[in-house]
Amino acid sequence: MAQLSFPIEQIKHHYAVVVVGSGYGAAIAASRLARAGQEVAVLERGKEFQPGEYPGTEIAAVAEMQASTPDGLAGSRTGLYEFNVNPDINVFKGCGLGGTSLVNANVALRAEPRVFEDSRWPKALKDDLKTRVEEGYQRAEEMLKPEPYPASGFPTLPKLQALELSAKSMGAKFYRPPINVNFSLAGPNHVGVDQRPCTCCGDCVTGCNYGAKNTLIMNYLPDATNYGAEIYTQVDVRWIERSDGRWLVHYEALGVGREAFNAPEMTVSADILILGGGTLGSTEILLRSKAHGLALSDHVGEHFTGNGDVLGFAYDTDHVINGVGWGHHHPGEIPPVGPCITGVIDLREQPVLDDGMVIEEGSPPGPLASFLPAGLAVAADLAGREVKPGIREEVREEERKLASWLEGPYRGAVHNTQTFLVMTHDNGAGRMTLENDRLRIHWPGVGDQPIFDKVNARLDNASKALGGEYVINPLWSKLLHNNLVSVHPLGGCVMAEDAERGVVNHKGQVFSSAEGPKAYDNLYVMDGAIVPLPLGVNPLLTISALAERAVALAASDRGWKIDYKLPSQPAHAPAIPKVGIEFTETMSGYFSSHVKDDFQRGADQGKAENSPFTFTLTIVSEDLQTMLTDPQHSAEMVGSVVAPALSSHPLTVNEGRFNLFVVDESQPATRRMWYRMVLNADEGRAYFFEGFKLITDRPVFDVWHDATTLYVTVYEGSDNKSEVLGKGILIIRPQDFFRQLTTMRATHARTLEQRLEAEAHFGRFFVGVLAQKYGRIFSWPAAT
């Protein structure tokens, strides 16, 4: 499938709308505002995954895990499976283009209507329940295409049958909920994305490799690009500030090696800024922005809820469950598992709203399957609630446990284990804070709330109906102080009537002080962070409905018209990515605005004036072969500049152009490496930077000096036709050169062999030119 994201070097300095994140709220905002004719940029911290690229083995899955703990960060900041680990409650979420839609169980249930009767919802929203909120639900359903697991034409699922058996034993309502999974289409969908029907692999929560799951990269996000939105991945937004009527978004570009140089943040500006980084992401950005001086409500981070999430197991039942995903197995190797969730025991509509809950079955994904036999057996011994068997049945149980230990999770006890996922109503009293610049969640005694005893009693009954041993979530037990795990975090930037009670108003606009209803007109939060209380059901559809309403109001307030018609199609045929090359380089030296005609005097004067100049640039070619064969040897650049003579803040590089070893027409024996770029200052000023390295026929001992010395001119405006501001010289220090080597990598290579060959091809060209110019010091053939 075609990639949706743009190369980071193409990012502009300013957009009408910047959307942070790419989960349900963010994707909806991007799609709808692009349809309203606005110039939209989406900034996502994670990577882009397309079907076929998700982990299928234990090793690959573990490599994509990241965890923020009280002791620090483990794993990559762009890892797909993100854990926030805390003493009281832990959170699992997705990190990638599409957010948690990549790793959730797809359930698209509406919240019980009584949820909206709570006084914590603003009156204006409650007044809209039958109009704009209902329209929001309908528009989300139109795009996400939820439907129940088919009653015919698809395999019978043992785990679904077992859940229905539990429901009957409990005298409870049971049905197949709508899930965002495609069961029929084989071809382009309503936004032009090619999809295939579900294979029933069971690996929804590690990523669908078959193109059947209706994640956001199947609908809202490609729809946004169909209407001109630009999507950038591996962009970590850190904080925001208001400056001269626009929003400055401070971000770090990840995965390109800038971390090796401790490079400063970069910025992009927007007229309208929409935070859609999820409950944890948007809250973290606002907390950090508040610390930087942005006026906000004092309630940022408060009213966190885990949506009453509970995970449990009916271990080693009397029934075959077949509830573990395929992982690396191919279709036909093991029986169909089905989508992660296909059934629900709906225990809502209780006399007291907060006593309601839903119980759904699940399927642990295949890439994590090998951890299940030991993990569940140990958990059963530590925290299980066992149905007392007879001697003969006890022997059979031990045989099944042994089978799982010896033969793996597709045999024995694990093969007979039902997974339960519960959502209910906790008290929403969690609090998020920034500690050591990382988000932490505090909620003492969260697991001691009476509702969780009721949940465990219900799951115990559901397990007994199957003859299984109820295993409480291994993290929720007296041994571990009743800690919980949530996969549906909500709150932190909750909506309310005013800043004394929440963080955003009913439109999602962020309150601009600690008290009163006044809000920033063009700063929004549109994600689960705005939900002021637990929903007691899978929240994705309600988050989507609220986002549809908020973005419709944002457009209406500005007189914009959103074109909702379907289908939509890509504006251009998708380009097949070519093998490219990228590396990150730091150069430093001195610059003076008082010398305009001589590089060395500019550097000397800059040193005397204590006017340093440093850049960290990522140089990217999206087509290595063309770069090396075209006489201009061109690539693009993005990065940052620290130059106190130009700005007291780091400047951001845009429209960067690099030329490698271009023949100097006035001196045919000389080649130049050109660096040309626009430097945008946070204050709104722009400068043009032009620099070159001279590569010529010289003795071998001059090669280091020439290849690492850049002669710099800075112009007052945005091109080299502007007035010269000053000159200087930059160099590469040896330690920075060795760091630079670690950042060089081929991009879009499909195999390790292809990657190594591309990197070697670039190296042969680079060293070949130097060998030709400096006495043929190496044996590489001369480059052209």
Reported as a pLDDT band with limits 50, 70 and 90, residue 412 is confident
Nearest-10 crossing angle of helices 24-35, 540-557: 30
Instruction: Encode pLDDT of 715-749 as tens digits.
Output: 999 999 999 999 999 999 999 999 999 999 999 99
pLDDT for 60 equals: 95
Which of 554, 526, 520 has the alpha carbon at shortest distance from 296? 520
Instruction: Encode pLDDT of 535-563 as tens digits.
Output: 999 999 999 999 999 999 999 999 999 99
CB burial of residue 321 (10 Å; 0-12, 13-18, 19+): buried
Reported as a pLDDT band with limits 50, 70 and 90, residue 481 is very low
Instruction: Encode pLDDT of 422-455 as tens digits.
Output: 999 999 999 999 999 999 999 999 999 999 999 9
Q: Which two tokens stand for residue 684?
A: 């709104």
Instruction: Encode pLDDT of 760-770 as tens digits.
Output: 999 999 998 88
Given a cut of 80, whether residue 158 has pLDDT beyond it is yes
C-alpha dist (Å) from residue 604 to 591, 610, 614:
8, 10, 15
d(CA 17, CA 585): 31
C-alpha dist (Å) from residue 380 to 144, 374, 534:
38, 10, 29
Given a cut of 60, whether residue 750 has pLDDT beyond it is yes
Q: Which two tokens stand for residue 270?
A: 């927007």
Instruction: Encode pLDDT of 595-645 as tens digits.
Output: 999 999 999 999 999 999 999 999 999 999 999 999 999 999 999 999 999
Instruction: Encode pLDDT of 637-655 as tens digits.
Output: 999 999 999 999 999 999 9
Given a cut of 50, whether residue 502 has pLDDT beyond it is yes
pLDDT for 407 equals: 52
Question: Considering all CA atoms of the chain, what is the largest pairwise distance in Å, rounded to the nearest integer?
Answer: 96
Which of 447, 470, 474 has the alpha carbon at shortest distance from 459? 470
d(CA 763, CA 778): 12
d(CA 19, CA 277): 9
pLDDT for 399 equals: 52
φ/ψ bin of 269: left (φ > 0), alpha (ψ from -120 to 50), beta (otherwise)? beta
Mean pLDDT of the 673-686 span? 97
Which of 704, 479, 573, 539 has the alpha carbon at shortest distance from 93? 539
Nearest-10 crossing angle of helices 158-170, 450-464: 110
DSSP designation for 262? T
Q: What average pLDDT does the structure give for the chain?
A: 93
List CB contacts of 580: < 8 A, sequence separation 6 or more. 620, 621, 622, 623, 624, 627, 746, 747, 748, 758
pLDDT for 667 equals: 84
Q: Where are the beta strands (DSSP E) in 220-309?
A: 230-233, 235-243, 246-253, 266-275, 302-304
Mean pLDDT of the 3-16 span? 96
d(CA 618, CA 626): 19
pLDDT for 2 equals: 81
CA 308 to chain centre: 24
Given a cut of 80, whether residue 42 has pLDDT beyond it is yes
Given a cut of 80, whether residue 405 has pLDDT beyond it is no
Given a cut of 90, whether residue 390 has pLDDT beyond it is no
Give the H or E element holding residue 454: helix 450-464
Give the H or E element holding residue 634: strand 634-642
Rounded percentage of the chain residues whose pLDDT exceeds 70: 93
Reported as a pLDDT band with limits 50, 70 and 90, residue 209 is very high
Q: Which two tokens stand for residue 687?
A: 């400068």
Q: Which two tokens stand for residue 362?
A: 């699940």
| Tally of residues, the chain | 784
d(CA 310, CA 454): 11
Asked if 231 contacts 42 with a C-beta cutoff of 8 angstroms, the reply is yes
Q: Cis peptide leading into 567, omega within 30 of 0? A: yes
Mean pLDDT of the 223-233 span? 98
Asked if 764 contacts 758 with a C-beta cutoff of 8 angstroms, the reply is no
pLDDT for 687 equals: 98
> Which strands make up the sheet holding 469-472, listed edge to edge?
173-175, 344-346, 358-362, 418-423, 310-315, 469-472, 384-385
pLDDT for 368 equals: 84
Reported as a pLDDT band with limits 50, 70 and 90, residue 376 is low
List CB contacts of 490: < 8 A, sequence separation 6 or more. 279, 304, 305, 306, 307, 528, 529, 531, 533, 534, 535, 539
Instruction: Encode pLDDT of 557-596 as tens digits.
Output: 999 999 999 999 998 887 888 999 999 999 999 999 999 9
Strand 469-472 vs strand 384-385: parallel, antiparallel, or unpaired?
A: antiparallel
Reported as a pLDDT band with limits 50, 70 and 90, residue 477 is very low
Q: Where are the beta strands (DSSP E) in 665-723?
A: 667-680, 686-695, 709-715
Torsion of CA 508, 512, 514, 516, to 10 degrees: -80
Given a cut of 50, whether residue 406 has pLDDT beyond it is no
Give the H or E element holding residue 164: helix 158-170
Instruction: Encode pLDDT of 657-668 as tens digits.
Output: 999 999 988 888
Asked if 69 contacts 246 with a C-beta cutoff of 8 angstroms, the reply is no
The residues facing 42 across adjacent strands are 19, 231
DSSP designation for 441? E
Given a cut of 50, whether residue 778 has pLDDT beyond it is no
pLDDT for 474 equals: 60
Residue with tokens 């001589």: 598
Residue 12 amino acid letter: K
d(CA 768, CA 781): 6
pLDDT for 394 equals: 57
pLDDT for 780 equals: 44
pLDDT for 369 equals: 79
Given a cut of 60, whether residue 779 has pLDDT beyond it is no
Given a cut of 80, whether residue 345 has pLDDT beyond it is yes
The residues facing 524 across adjacent strands are 274, 509
Q: Out of 22-26, 35-39, 175-179, 395-399, which region has the weakest mean confidence (pLDDT)?
A: 395-399
Reported as a pLDDT band with limits 50, 70 and 90, residue 774 is confident
Q: What is the DSSP string of 649-680?
A: SPEEEEEEEEEEEEEETTEEEEEEEEEEEEEE
